[in-house]
A and B are shown apart, each in its own frame.
Chain A
Amino acid sequence: MLVKALAAGAIGLALGVAASGSILADPPFAAVTIGAWRVAAKAGSLEADPYTRAALARSGEIPLALGEGLKLVARADNAGRPLDRRCLYRIGTRTPAARYWTLSLTDADGFSVENAAGRYGFRSSEILRDDDGGFSIYVSALVHAGNWLPIGHVQTFALALRLYDTPLAASAGGIEKSSVPTIEREGCA
C-alpha cells in the first residue's frame, strides 16, 4: 500500500513538472488566433492569467504595453503547416492600421537568427512597395529578389509582426482576419 502511494506520488510529481514545463513554453490561454497569427494582447498587463505571468517570468521578455503596440507571432503558414526552413514564403500584402509596423524573423524562443545578409526584419518605413501600396516580403533560406527576409541557420523559426501605436490595441480580439498579412507557402526545396 505504502509502495503504491509513493509510486503514485512520484509519477504525479514527474507528470506535473513535465506538463508545467511544456505548457509554460507557449501558454495557451491568453492568445487569440487571427489568420496565421497569434496575439496575446494582455500578456504583459497586470490582468494576465497565472500561466502567462509564469511564462513571462521564465522567458525574461520585456512586454510591450497595449498603448505602445501589439506583437503578433506566427509559427505556421496560412494553411496551418509549421514554418519550414526548406520552403519559400510570401507575406503580404496589408497590415492593420498602425503608425509603424515591423516584421522580423526569430528562432522559436524569439531571438534573431544569424544570417549572411545581416537582415533580421523589415520596417514599414523602409520596405519596397507595390504600385498599389501593398507589399510582399519573401522568407526563404535562399536569396530572393525584392524584400528578402533570410531564414538563416536555424531549424524552427517564427515570424513576429509588431504594430506600433495602433488603435486596435484595446480590442485585439476584434482584428479582422482579412486585415493581417497572409503567409503563403510558395514551394519547398
Chain B
Amino acid sequence: MSVTARLGGAALFVAAVAATAALVHFTVVLLVPVVATHDAYARLADIGPPGTTAPLPRAGPGERRFPWDDPALAASVCRYDLSAGPLRVKAPVGRAGFASLSFHTRRGAVFYALTDRAATRGRMEAVIVTPAQLRVLVAHDDEDDPSQDLRVVSPTAQGFVVMRAFSELPSLYGAAAEQVQTLACATEPPTP
C-alpha cells in the first residue's frame, strides 16, 4: 500500500469518527427533552397530584430537586391537564413585596407570566386553554358583554403553574409560604 493510500485511509477514518460523533451529539441534544425522566414536571409529580396546589420545598442544603431556586422566595405549584377542560388560576395579591404567577409547558418552558403589578381587582387571574378550547369560548362570547377573562393558550395540554412570593426578611418567609398556598386552580365547568 502506498503512503498516499494510507493517509487517505486515515483521513477517511477520522472523518467517519467526526461525522458519527456529530450525528450522535445532535440526536442526543434533540432527544433529551423528549425522553428526560427527571425534568421539572416529573419531579413535581412527587410534590402533589394534578389540579391541586402544593408547596414547593424551600431551597436549602439537602434539598436537591429544583436547582437555582431562591431561598428568599416561597413557591407553590399546580400541575394541570387541559383534556378535562380549561383551567382557571387565581391568587389574591397578598402582602408580600413581590408575587407572581408563571405558566409552564409540559417541558418546563414559560409561556406566560403575571406579577402582582398586573393584578386586577386585587388578584392575579387567568384561564389556561388549548387552541380548540379558545375557539369554543370565543364562539360562545356575548358580543355586547364580552368576557373579562384573561385567556392564555398553553402550547401543551399538560403543564404547571408556579406561584412565587418574596419574603423581605427571613422572619417573613412563613407569611410568604402561607400566601403562595392561596393559589387556586380549578377546571372550568363545560361551556353550555
Which residues of A come within 8 Å of B, CB atoms?
Answer: 4-5, 7-9, 11-13, 15-17, 19-20, 23-24, 44-46, 48, 50-51, 53-54, 56-68, 71, 73, 99-100, 102, 104, 106, 109-115, 120-121, 123, 125-126, 152, 160, 162, 164-165
Which size bracket describes the interface of B in this complex? 35 or more
In this complex, what residue of A is CB-closest to B44?
A: A62
> 5 new A-B pairs (CB below 8 Å) besides A66-B113, A111-B67?
A11-B17, A15-B20, A15-B21, A120-B59, A121-B71
B114 within 8 Å of A (CB atoms): yes
Main secondary structure of the interface of A (DSSP, over half): mixed
Summed over the interface, the residue pairs from A and B with CB atoms below 8 Å come to a total of 194
Give the CA-CA distance A66 to B111 in the complex, in Å: 10
Give the CA-CA distance A165 to B165 in the complex, in Å: 12
Give the CA-CA distance A62 to B159 in the complex, in Å: 12
The answer to whether A62 touches B20 (Cβ under 8 A) is: no
- Please list 24 pairs of residues, one from A and one from B, whose beta carbons are closer than 8 Å in the complex, sorted by A's number: A11-B20, A13-B21, A17-B28, A20-B29, A23-B25, A46-B105, A46-B109, A51-B29, A54-B28, A56-B33, A57-B36, A57-B107, A60-B39, A63-B108, A67-B100, A71-B68, A99-B97, A106-B68, A109-B64, A121-B71, A123-B169, A160-B68, A160-B70, A162-B70
Within 8 A of A (CB), among B46-83: 56, 59-73, 75, 77
- Given A12-B18, A123-B72 in contact, is the A61-B60 Cβ separation under 8 Å? no
